A = this chain, B = another copy of it.
């Protein structure tokens, strides 16, 4: 099982623009047959800091997600409003 934390930092003035893009990305990703969990959160201290917590069976499933039509269409539209480079962590279960 692969757990992922992906973090985006969006310019304050663009939060209203990315909101429907994020909602569509979450909705369509949850329909992917291999998606085990795909939840989006915001930092209580920074409304432009968006945090995905994702669960996939393995790396191949994550790669398939990144190749979907919705990912390839929506992520560049979101990324156009980043105020700094996003980060991601691929994680193994420890306990």
Contacts and interface: CB of A to CB of B under 8 A. Distances in A.
Interface of A: 3, 5, 22-23, 26-27, 39-45, 49-51, 53, 89-95
Chain copies in the assembled complex: 2
A51 B23 CA distance: 26
* A-side interface mostly: strand
Given A23-B95, A51-B89, A53-B53, 17 more contacts: A3-B41, A5-B51, A26-B95, A27-B95, A40-B93, A40-B95, A41-B91, A41-B93, A41-B94, A42-B92, A42-B94, A43-B90, A43-B91, A44-B90, A45-B90, A50-B94, A51-B91
A94 B25 CA distance: 12
Contacts of A93: 39-41
Contact of A94 (B40, B89, B92): B40
